[in-house]
A and B are shown apart, each in its own frame.
Chain A
Amino acid sequence: MLQLIVQIAVDAISLGSLLALTALGIGLIFGIMRLINFAHGDFIMLGAYALIVPSAADAAMMFIGVWPAPILVISVIAILIVVALASERIAFRPLRTADPSILLITSFALSFFFQNLVLMVYSGRPKGVPLWPDLVKPIYLGPIRVPELHIITVCVTLALLVLLVLFLKKTTIGVQMRAASEDFRMAQLLGVRGNRVIAAAFAISGLLAAVVSLLFVSQTGTLSFKMGVPLVLFAFVATVVGGMGSLVGAVLGGFVVGVSSIVFQAILPMEMRMNDDAWVFALVLLILLVRPGGLVSVKALQERV
C-alpha cells in the first residue's frame, strides 16, 4: 500500500514537473506579449528529433543522442534557443501589435509547419530512441522502489525554478522582463528594449523546452511528430488554471493538472478510468468558474476602468 501511494505520488510530481516547466515556457512569453505559443510543444518535439540522424528510415540512428551527456544537453539547448529565436524573428515580431487571437492562430500555423516538416523529413512512424537507458532503473529507498529518472526530473525542475527566480530578480534583463510583463508600453517608455526582452523570453522558453524534451524522451523512449501536442495542451490549460501571466501560477497550474491527472487515473473505478481526461477537464472547468482569473490572478491583466 505504501509502495503504491509513493509510486502514485512520484508519478504525479514527475508529470507535474514536466507540465510546470512547459507551462513556464508558455507563461513567460504570454506575460510579455500576450502570445499563447502553441508551437512550444513543437519546440519540445524538435529537440527530441535533433537526437537522431534525419532520415525516413524506420530504425532511428542516434546522432546527437550518443554524444557525452554535457555536450548533448548543451547542443539540444542551443538548437532550441535558435529555433525559438528564429520563430520570434520571422513569425511573431511582425505581428507584435496584433490581437492575441491572431498571434494564437499564427502559433497554430507555426506548429502545423514544424509538425509537417518533421513528417516530411523523418516520416510519420513513431521511432524508438534509447536515450540514457540506465536512468530508467529504479533506486531503493528502504523498501520503496522509485525510478531514478523521476527523482532527476523533480531535481532538475527545482533547480531550474530556483535559477529562473534568481535570473528574474537579480539580473538587469530579468528585472526588465518582469517590468515588461507588468506593462509593456510603460517599460518601453522607461527605456527597456522591447526586442531584447522578448528575445530573452523566447530564448528561455527554448531552454525550458530543451530540458522538457530530454526528460520526456528519456521517460517515454519514443519519438513522434505529434509528441508535443498533449504536453502543450495540458500545459496551456495549466497556465490558465494557474492564472495567465503569473509565473508562480504557471508552475502551480502545471502541478495541479499533472497531479490531478495521475490521481484520477489511480483512484477512479475501472469503468470510469477511460474517461480520466474528462475528469481533469471537469476540474479545470470548475476551477475557472470559481476563480475566472486562475488560482493566482494578475492585476496587470484586469482591465482598468
Chain B
Amino acid sequence: MDSRHITAIIRFLWTPLILSFIVLTIVLIVWASGDSVVARTITDGLIRTVLVIGLYIFIGNSGVLAFGHIAFMLIGGYAVAWLTMSPFKKSFALDLPAILADNQFPLFPSAIAAGLLPAIVAFIVGIPIMRLSGIAASIATFAVLAIFYTIYSNWDSWTFGASTLVGIPLYVNMWVALGWTVFAIFTAYLYQQTKYGLALRSSREDEVAARAAGINIPVQRLIAFVLSAFFMGIAGVLQAHFLGSLIVNGFWLGITFLSLAMLIVGGQRSLTGAVVGVIVVSTIVELLRQVEAGIQFGNFEFSLPGGFQELGLAVLMIVILIYRPWGIMGGHEVPWPFGHGKRILAGGFALAPPLPKDERK
C-alpha cells in the first residue's frame, strides 16, 4: 500500500477520525484533571452522543422526523436489566420466567443482546410503518413509543411498573462510554457511505426521483431504522449500567425532545452535526447550571434565579435556529483541509445539502 492509498483511506475516514479525536481529547483532558464529578458529566454526555447518533442514523439519512425512537432505548435498557441483575436483586422487584430470574448473564454479551432486541422490534414494527412518509410516519413512530411506554408502565412483573427499578450492575464509566461512542461514530459514517446509505439519502432529497431511479424506499428506510434502533438500545443499556436504575417515566417526552433538539440544533443532515449538537447543547446546559449555582468574580458573587437554566436553554436554542436554520453544521461534515487532490476511493463524499430558500440567492 503506497502513501497515496493511505492518504485516500485517511481522507475517506476523515470525518469519523476527527470526531473521535475530539471526543477522545475531551475525555483525556477530564481524565488528566482527575475530577470525578466532571467525569460523570462527560460520561452522561457520551451516552447522549450514542443516543443522538442512533437518532441521526434514521432521521438524518431518511429525512423522516421520527418521534418514537426513545421506545428502543426503553426496550434496550430494560432488556439488559433482565439479563444482568443478580437473581437476588431481581427477586425483590420482578417476577420473570425462570431462565431470566435464576441467571445472571455476562455484561458484554448482554449489552449486545439488549441492543439486538430493539433492533428486532424495529424490524417488525418498521415493515408497515416505513411505507409512510412525512408527518404520518412521525406520528406512527410516536404511537409506537406511546404503546411501549404505556405497556412498560403497567407491566409490573417485568418492569416493576411505574416504580424505579434499582440494582443494575454499575460498570459504565467514561472509557466504556467512549468506546461505544467511537464505535457508533464509525458505524454511522460507514453506513451512510454504503450504497444503502446513499440510496436512503437520495430519497431524502427527492422521494419521487429516488423511486424513479429504482430505489425501494421502504426497504432502505427499514435498514436505517433497524440500525438506529440498535444504537438507541445500546444508549439505553449504557444509561442503565451508568445510573444503576431505570424508571419508565424517564423514557418519555423529556428525553425525546432533548435528544431531537440536540440533533436539530447541531444539524440533522450530517453526522458531524449530530455530535456537535450534543456537545453544544450539553455545554450550554452545564454552563447555565454553573451560573445558576453562582460564580465568583473576585469578591463579587454572581448567580441567577432558579429555573433560569431551562429558560436560557430554550431561548438559546431558538436563537441558534433563527440564525442557522439547518443547525450549526448546516449539513456539512468535517471538511478535508489538504486541498482537492484526486479521490482514489469511489463514492463516499456526501453532497452539501441544498440551502434553505432564504440563503439561496
Interface residues of A (CB under 8 A from B): 36, 91, 94-95, 97-102, 104-106, 108-110, 112-113, 116-117, 119-120, 229, 233, 236-237, 240-241, 244, 274-278, 281-282, 284-285, 288-289, 292-294, 303, 305
- Would you call B143 and A284 a contact (CB within 8 A)? yes
- Would you call B326 and A97 a contact (CB within 8 A)? no
* CB-CB under 8 A for A305 and B208, given A105-B321, A237-B139: yes
Please report the C-alpha to C-alpha distance between residue A288 and residue B208 in the assembled complex, in whole angstroms: 21
Instruction: Give the shortest distance, in Å, between B256 (CB) and chain A (any CB).
Output: 9
Q: Across the interface, name the chain B residue whose C-beta is closest to A245.
A: B135
Instruction: Give the shortest distance, in Å, between A289 (CB) and chain B (any CB).
Output: 5
Residues of chain A with a CB closer than 8 A to B265's CB: 105
Interface of B is mostly: helix
Please report the C-alpha to C-alpha distance between residue A278 and residue B248 in the assembled complex, in whole angstroms: 15
Please report the C-alpha to C-alpha distance between residue A101 and residue B268 in the assembled complex, in whole angstroms: 10
* CB-CB under 8 A for A101 and B65, given A112-B314, A237-B142, A288-B132: yes
- Would you call A285 and B140 a contact (CB within 8 A)? yes
Interface residues of B (CB under 8 A from A): 65, 128-129, 131-133, 135-136, 139-140, 142-144, 146-147, 150-151, 153-154, 207-208, 253, 257, 260-261, 264-265, 268, 305-308, 310-311, 313-315, 317-318, 321-322, 325-326, 356-358
Please report the C-alpha to C-alpha distance between residue A119 and residue B140 in the assembled complex, in whole angstroms: 31
- Would you call B318 and A275 a contact (CB within 8 A)? no
Contact of B139 (CB < 8 Å), options: A240, A275, A303: A240
Residues of chain B with a CB closer than 8 A to A303's CB: 207-208
Residues of chain B with a CB closer than 8 A to A106's CB: 317-318, 321
Interface of A is mostly: helix
Please report the C-alpha to C-alpha distance between residue A148 and residue B139 in the assembled complex, in whole angstroms: 35
Instruction: Give the shortest distance, in Å, between A141 (CB) and chain B (any CB).
Output: 35
Contact of B307 (CB < 8 Å), options: A120, A275, A305: A120
- Would you call A98 and B325 a contact (CB within 8 A)? yes
Contact of A109 (CB < 8 Å), options: B132, B142, B150, B317: B317
Q: Across the interface, name the chain B residue whose C-beta is closest to A120.
A: B307
- Would you call A293 and B136 a contact (CB within 8 A)? yes
Closest 4 A-B residue pairs measured CB to CB? A120-B307, A113-B314, A116-B310, A278-B150
- Would you call B146 and A278 a contact (CB within 8 A)? yes
Please report the C-alpha to C-alpha distance between residue A141 and residue B190 in the assembled complex, in whole angstroms: 69
Please report the C-alpha to C-alpha distance between residue A97 and residue B135 in the assembled complex, in whole angstroms: 18
